[in-house]
């Protein structure tokens, strides 16, 4: 297991990583809280000194004023330490929250694409945010609800020893039994808390999924249906939450009962010792004050330990989903790719999404640098899989893929993908301005370079007609734009990247024929001597390409120029004629002239 993945295997390792990363801050925070809590305990002892001084027959006012001065000074010191601890806790907790979200996002983004197809995007995002919140809650719980009661207990044992060692021993034994029981009960309840965390994340993801597809909900009159479906899901989540919550309440009842017994016993014991003259009134005061302080502190401690178990459950559930080992990872010693023009080689590649159903088996293909090649074939032939393997979205099961003679497994994924620009069929844009979306390919590009790429992709005209031009926000996933406009922005983004290899996956499928021809002509010059792989169902887009390969069941069955393949009267010609027939039929229907024969 890689070191960078090891910390994701358990909540304790995960938390330890951030404590070690800010060891000085956490150490200072612990010291401040312990110091403040110790001051609060010593204040109780000062109260004993004050009472005993006032009750003494000789009425020594210097002792009275001395005890009072120490009492007031400790209260001031305690307040100062608490305020410093609050300032430091704020900085530390917020900083850890930022680090946590960044680390989880970085690791999440390393998963292959099929991981994301099986997860709700909203659920993943909420898991990351909730985990940062849980770490903050754990930090605050430890600082404010665990350390102070523990410090109070240690201080109380020391002070009780000065009163009667038997009271100190009884207090120690009782608290040890109580704490042990709470820990055991907290561990037993962890499955309930994890079940609630899992259900809450799933339901949150489904809610986001419905909202993201609200158009379909409206179009199919499904509002009532979706409400009933969500009510059913929310019901299961509420059941899990009630089980988790009521388990905590049962523990709280047991805790309160135990503390009532402890407080009553200690006070009765102290009164009996006073009545027999074994302790002073000040001792009774300090025993009473510390007993009630421990009573309230241990209640906070019990709730904190139970809440900690619940928060650990949430973190464990997130790590179970996000912390899965990466299927595709950089090999140790992987280096940066060297650009030598963009030649591509598939050598005896075998790959399947399931090992027993290969998409490619002994697949070999050479694409020289600078060649414009089209990939055609029926659905399931392996066209998009080929593009995904080239980007190393998946790893081959045998064989290898090389770019400029360099095996993909010998280079880092980021440097590999920097060599490749992709225009998918469904272009997804960020909810940012058009300029930002185009510039995303190359953040250092000037405004002039962005505009030039937009013009080459025939974006200029529709952008100028938008309310804010290049500064217009495109909406979530770019839905404020039409499909054709999103595709043209995607093409502009790919051109701006200026990568030596470009993959066009049905990049103009949403454009009409006339606009498609204009985009092709404009892009031809911009593409220059780059290597271009165009996956196409519309064969007319490949007429200007120098080479086309036809895939059938993961095998190359035809390879040549478009016109050579047409003359062979093979699979390509058959597909070509089918499309011509479909276009002719569609044209006849529009013009009302009947069915045309070709």
Return per-residue pLDDT of the chain as tens, 598 residues: 455 566 777 788 888 888 888 899 999 999 999 999 888 888 877 777 777 677 666 666 777 787 778 778 888 998 999 999 989 988 898 889 899 889 898 888 888 777 887 776 767 887 888 888 888 888 888 888 888 888 887 887 788 777 777 877 887 787 777 777 777 777 777 778 778 877 887 787 778 778 777 767 877 777 888 888 888 888 888 888 888 888 877 777 877 787 778 778 877 887 887 777 777 777 777 777 777 777 667 766 767 776 777 788 778 878 888 888 888 888 888 889 988 888 999 999 999 888 788 899 989 999 999 888 989 888 778 888 898 899 998 888 999 999 999 999 899 988 998 899 888 877 888 888 999 999 988 889 899 999 998 888 888 888 988 888 889 888 877 778 888 888 889 889 988 888 899 888 876 665 666 566 666 665 666 677 889 888 877 777 777 788 999 998 888 898 988 888 888 888 888 888 877 655 444 444 444 444 333 2
Question: Which pLDDT score is estimated for 591?
Answer: 46
What is the 3-state composition of the chain as percent helix, strand, coil, each rounded to the nearest 5? 65, 10, 25
- The torsion angle over the Cα atoms of residues 558, 561, 566 and 569, rounded to 10 degrees, is -30
Q: What is the DSSP secondary-structure string of 419-477? A: TEEEE-SS--B-SSBHHHHHHTT-TT--HHHHHHHHHHTT-HHHHHTSTTGGG-B--TB
Query: Residue 443, exposed/middle/buried by CB under 10 A (0-12, 13-18, 19+)?
Result: exposed
* 329 within some domain: no
Distance CA 357, CA 351 (A): 9
Would you say 457 and 488 are in contact if contact means Cβ atoms under 8 Å apart? yes
Residues 6 or more apart whose CB falls under 8 angstroms from that of 533 comprise 344, 367, 373, 375, 387, 390, 501, 502, 503, 504
Q: How far is CA 499 from CA 244, 415, 417, 436, in A?
A: 53, 11, 9, 18
- Give the three-class secondary structure for 375: strand
* 307 within some domain: yes
- Give the three-class secondary structure for 372: strand
Residues 537 and 466 in one domain: no
* CATH at 17: 1.20.1560.10
Residues 13 and 64 in one domain: yes
Question: Which pLDDT score is estimated for 1?
Answer: 43
State the alpha helices, DSSP H only, in 109-146.
113-117, 121-141
Residues 82 and 118 in one domain: yes
Residues 415 and 460 in one domain: no
* 328 within some domain: no
Residue in 71, 73, 53 with CA at minimum distance from that of residue 63: 53
Q: How far is CA 422 from CA 108, 419, 453, in A?
A: 21, 10, 15
Token look-up 């000065």 returns 162
Distance CA 322, CA 320 (A): 6
Would you say 298 and 259 are in contact if contact means Cβ atoms under 8 Å apart? yes
Token look-up 């002239």 returns 593
* 161 within some domain: yes
* 331 within some domain: no
* 166 within some domain: yes
* 529 within some domain: yes
Q: How far is CA 378 from CA 159, 177, 240, 526, in A?
A: 84, 71, 47, 29
Residues 103 and 8 in one domain: yes
State the alpha helices, DSSP H only, in 351-402.
383-390
Residues 487 and 505 in one domain: no
Neighbours of 517 (CB within 10 A): 14
Residues 415 and 433 in one domain: no
Question: Which pLDDT score is estimated for 455?
Answer: 87
Range of the domain at 175: 3-322
Residues 6 or more apart whose CB falls under 8 angstroms from that of 540 comprise 513, 516, 579
Would you say 535 and 387 are in contact if contact means Cβ atoms under 8 Å apart? yes
Distance CA 525, CA 529 (A): 9
Question: Which pLDDT score is estimated for 31?
Answer: 92
Residues 279 and 363 in one domain: no
Number of domains making up the chain: 3
Token look-up 């938008």 returns 466
Residues 356 and 218 in one domain: no
Residues 6 or more apart whose CB falls under 8 angstroms from that of 184 comprise none
Residues 452 and 401 in one domain: no
What's phi and psi for 433, nearest 5 deg?
-75, 160
Distance CA 376, CA 504 (A): 12
pTM of this structure:
0.69
Question: Which pLDDT score is estimated for 390?
Answer: 92
Q: How far is CA 189 from CA 52, 141, 153, 197, in A?
A: 47, 19, 26, 13
DSSP state of 597: P
Burial 473-511 (b: 16+ CB within 10 A, else e): bbeeebebbeebbbbbbbbbbbbbbbbbbbbbbbbbbbb
* 330 within some domain: no
Residues 399 and 523 in one domain: yes
Neighbours of 113 (CB within 10 A): 11
Residue in 110, 55, 46 with CA at minimum distance from that of residue 74: 46
DSSP state of 143: I
Domain-ending residue, one of 498, 520, 539: 498
Q: How far is CA 408 from CA 91, 329, 338, 363, in A?
A: 43, 11, 12, 16
* CATH at 591: 3.40.50.300
Domain-ending residue, one of 474, 498, 522: 498
Residues 471 and 515 in one domain: no
Own/partner long-range contacts of 254-261 (Cβ < 8 Å, ≥24 apart)? 254/181, 254/185, 255/178, 255/182, 255/298, 255/299, 255/302, 256/299, 258/178, 259/178, 259/295, 259/298, 259/299
Query: Residue 357, exposed/middle/buried by CB under 10 A (0-12, 13-18, 19+)?
Result: exposed
Domain-ending residue, one of 498, 513, 547: 498
Q: How far is CA 255 from CA 151, 165, 187, 262, in A?
A: 19, 25, 16, 11
Would you say 236 and 229 are in contact if contact means Cβ atoms under 8 Å apart? no
- The torsion angle over the Cα atoms of residues 24, 26, 30 and 31, rounded to 10 degrees, is 20
What's phi and psi for 446, nearest 5 deg?
-80, 170
Token look-up 């330990």 returns 305
Would you say 474 and 482 are in contact if contact means Cβ atoms under 8 Å apart? no
The helix-helix angle for 190-212 and 165-188 (nearest 10°) equals: 40
């Amino acid at each position: 297991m890689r070191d960078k993945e090891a910390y994701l295997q358990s909540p304790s390792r995960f938390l330890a990583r951030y404590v070690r990363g800010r060891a000085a801050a956490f150490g200072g925070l612990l010291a401040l809280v312990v110091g403040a809590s110790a001051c609060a305990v010593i204040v109780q002892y000062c109260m004993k000194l004050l009472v005993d001084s006032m009750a003494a027959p000789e009425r020594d006012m210097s002792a009275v004023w001395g005890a009072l001065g120490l009492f007031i000074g400790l209260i001031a010191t305690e307040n100062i330490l608490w305020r410093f601890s609050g300032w430091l806790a704020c900085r530390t907790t917020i900083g850890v929250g930022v680090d946590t979200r960044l680390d989880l996002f970085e690791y999440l983004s390393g998963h292959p694409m099929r991981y994301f197809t099986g997860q709700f995007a909203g659920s993943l995002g909420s898991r990351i945010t909730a985990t940062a919140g849980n770490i903050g809650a754990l930090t605050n719980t430890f600082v404010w609800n665990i350390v102070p009661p523990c410090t109070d207990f240690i201080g109380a044992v020391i002070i009780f020893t000065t009163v009667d060692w038997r009271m100190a021993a009884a207090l120690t034994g009782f608290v040890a039994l109580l704490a042990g029981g709470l820990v055991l009960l907290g561990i037993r309840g962890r499955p309930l808390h994890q079940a609630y965390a899992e259900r809450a994340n799933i339901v949150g993801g489904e809610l986001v999924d419905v909202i993201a597809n609200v158009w379909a909900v409206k179009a199919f009159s499904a509002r009532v249906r979706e409400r009933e479906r969500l009510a059913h899901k929310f019901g299961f989540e509420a059941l899990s939450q009630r089980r988790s919550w009521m388990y905590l309440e049962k523990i709280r009842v047991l805790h309160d009962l135990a503390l009532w017994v402890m407080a009553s016993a200690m006070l009765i014991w102290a009164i009996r010792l006073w009545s027999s003259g074994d302790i002073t009134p000040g001792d009774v005061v300090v025993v009473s004050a510390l007993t009630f302080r421990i009573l309230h502190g241990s209640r906070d401690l019990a709730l904190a330990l139970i809440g900690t178990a619940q928060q650990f459950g949430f973190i464990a559930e997130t790590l179970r989903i996000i912390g899965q080992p990466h299927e595709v990872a950089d090999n140790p010693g992987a280096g940066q790719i060297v650009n030598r023009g963009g030649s591509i080689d598939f050598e005896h590649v075998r790959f399947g999404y399931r090992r027993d159903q290969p998409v490619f088996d002994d697949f070999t293909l050479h694409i020289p640098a600078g060649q414009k090649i089209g990939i055609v074939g029926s659905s399931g032939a392996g066209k998009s899989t080929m593009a995904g393997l080239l980007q190393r979205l998946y790893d081959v099961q045998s064989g290898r893929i090389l770019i400029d003679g360099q095996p993909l497994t010998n280079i880092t994924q980021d440097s590999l993908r920097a060599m490749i620009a992709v225009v998918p069929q469904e272009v997804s844009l960020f909810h940012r301005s058009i300029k930002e979306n185009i510039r995303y390919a190359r953040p250092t590009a000037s405004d002039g370079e962005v505009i030039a790429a937009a013009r080459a992709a025939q974006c200029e005209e529709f952008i100028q007609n938008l309310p804010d031009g290049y500064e217009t926000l495109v909406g979530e996933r770019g839905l404020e734009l039409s499909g054709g406009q999103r595709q043209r922005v995607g093409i502009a983004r790919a051109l701006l990247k200026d990568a030596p290899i470009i993959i066009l996956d049905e990049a103009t499928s949403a454009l009409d024929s006339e606009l498609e021809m204009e985009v092709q002509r404009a892009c031809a010059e911009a593409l220059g001597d780059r290597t271009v792989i165009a996956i196409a169902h519309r064969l007319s887009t490949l007429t200007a390409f120098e080479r086309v390969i036809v895939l059938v069941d993961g095998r190359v069955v035809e390879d040549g120029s478009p016109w050579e393949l047409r003359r062979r009267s093979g699979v390509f010609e058959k597909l070509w004629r089918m499309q011509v027939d479909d276009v002719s039929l569609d044209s006849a229907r529009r013009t009302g002239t009947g069915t045309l024969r070709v």
